[in-house]
């Protein structure tokens, strides 16, 4: 019998599944595609209740992880994810934090070990399509970069997916969003400082986008999934964003087709082009 169409998204932390792939996860689940989310870390270096930051006296990593795991369960239920796999690695924290130097941080776990576990999941679910981050992790996050490396190693080992996609967004989308929110009186804080090298990386990634999927039909579910991660996002400008603005900017998800055995024409509007 033919294998069911299956989409696997490999993410670093709880909430990543909703922010960059929530639309495609919900949309394809509605179409009957089996959707699988693999979350590599527990996210224990996120904010504790009350916005308490890692390193503060009241920050309890185990407590934060428990909260974020529960939020992840809720978000995946909202998105209709059929299978959620938690690898349970230790959050590495941001690139300029010392936590990334911990020996058990995800970014320091031997790739062969993590790839073996991910390869076993690929063997179990047989995904035709896999999504993860680009080689720069979107914004140089050590765990995102490691997720990319582990995913590539697992695919090299199994040769199972027919297509590999990398998440990508155009920096111009965020600039347009900031301008719209500022006009509406929403406080979006100061503009992030992007160095020339990082800006060049982002522009190069945007230029490589091959696939843009219209997920506006499920934008409300993506919003609800993000709001389920309230411990991290309740005070962010994500939560303050009017629904109409969210739908306009985040109702489309874009990707770089990194590997492909289908010879489907690009640009694409469907991650399963060439497979059905």
Boundaries of every domain in the chain: 6-260
Residue 157 and residue 263 in contact, taking contact as beta carbons nearer than 8 Å = no
Residue-level pLDDT at 169? 84
Superfamily of domain 6-260: LmbE-like (3.40.50.10320)
Residue-level pLDDT at 235? 75
Spatial separation of the C-alpha atoms in residues 121 and 251, rounded to whole Å: 29
45: nearest Cα among 143, 138, 140: 143
Residue-level pLDDT at 191? 62
Helix, strand, coil percentages (3-state) for the chain, rounded to 5, are 45, 20, 35
Residue 193 and residue 165 in contact, taking contact as beta carbons nearer than 8 Å = no
**194 DSSP assignment:** -
Residue 6 and residue 36 in contact, taking contact as beta carbons nearer than 8 Å = yes
CB under 8 Å to 100, separation ≥6 — which residues? 92, 93, 94, 107, 108, 142
The pTM of this model reads: 0.93
**Quick one: tokens of 35?**
């959707």
Residue-level pLDDT at 155? 98
What strands, in cross-sheet order, belong to the sheet with 252-260?
83-89, 34-41, 6-11, 129-132, 163-168, 252-260, 211-214
Angle at 135 between CA 210 and CA 260, to 5 degrees: 40
Residue-level pLDDT at 2? 79
**Inter-helix orientation angle 142-158/111-125, to 10°:** 60
Residue 17 and residue 37 in contact, taking contact as beta carbons nearer than 8 Å = yes
Residue-level pLDDT at 192? 62
Q: How many CB atoms lie within 10 A of CB 155?
A: 22
List the chain pLDDT tens, one digit each, 276 residues: 778 999 999 999 999 999 999 999 999 999 999 999 999 999 999 999 989 999 999 999 999 999 999 999 999 999 999 999 999 999 999 998 999 999 999 999 999 999 999 999 999 999 999 999 999 877 789 999 999 999 999 999 999 999 999 999 877 777 777 778 778 777 766 666 667 777 777 778 888 999 999 999 999 999 999 999 999 988 776 677 788 888 888 899 999 999 999 999 999 999 999 999
Residue-level pLDDT at 261? 97
CB under 8 Å to 91, separation ≥6 — which residues? 13, 41, 42, 43, 44, 45, 46, 65, 99, 105, 106, 143
Spatial separation of the C-alpha atoms in residues 260 and 88, rounded to whole Å: 30
Angle at 93 between CA 88 and CA 95, to 5 degrees: 135
Spatial separation of the C-alpha atoms in residues 227 and 218, rounded to whole Å: 14
Residue-level pLDDT at 188? 66
């Amino acid at each position: 019998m033919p294998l069911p169409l299956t989409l696997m998204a490999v993410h670093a932390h709880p909430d990543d599944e909703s922010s960059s792939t929530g639309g495609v996860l919900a949309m394809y689940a509605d179409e009957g595609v089996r959707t699988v989310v693999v979350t590599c870390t527990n996210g224990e270096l996120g904010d504790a209740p009350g916005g308490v930051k890692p390193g503060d006296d009241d920050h309890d990593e185990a407590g934060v992880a428990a909260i974020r795991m529960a939020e992840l369960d809720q978000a995946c239920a909202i998105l209709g994810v059929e299978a959620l796999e938690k690898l349970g690695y230790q959050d590495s924290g941001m690139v300029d934090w010392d936590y990334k130097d911990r020996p058990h941080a995800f970014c320091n776990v031997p790739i062969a070990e993590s790839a073996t576990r991910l390869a076993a999941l690929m063997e179990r679910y047989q995904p035709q399509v896999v999504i993860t981050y680009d080689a720069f992790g979107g914004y140089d996050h050590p765990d995102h970069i490691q997720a990319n490396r582990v995913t590539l190693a697992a695919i090299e080992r199994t040769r199972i997916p027919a297509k590999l996609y990398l998440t990508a967004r155009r920096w111009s989308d965020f600039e347009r969003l900031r301008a719209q929110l500022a006009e509406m009186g929403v406080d979006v804080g100061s503009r992030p400082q992007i160095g020339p090298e990082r800006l060049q990386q982002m522009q190069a990634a945007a230029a490589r986008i091959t696939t843009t999927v219209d997920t506006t039909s499920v934008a409300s579910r993506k919003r609800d999934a993000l709001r389920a991660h309230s411990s991290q996002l309740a005070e962010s400008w994500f939560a303050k964003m009017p629904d109409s603005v969210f739908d306009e900017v985040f109702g489309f998800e874009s990707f770089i087709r990194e590997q492909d055995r289908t010879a489907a024409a690009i640009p694409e509007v469907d991650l399963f082009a060439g497979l059905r």
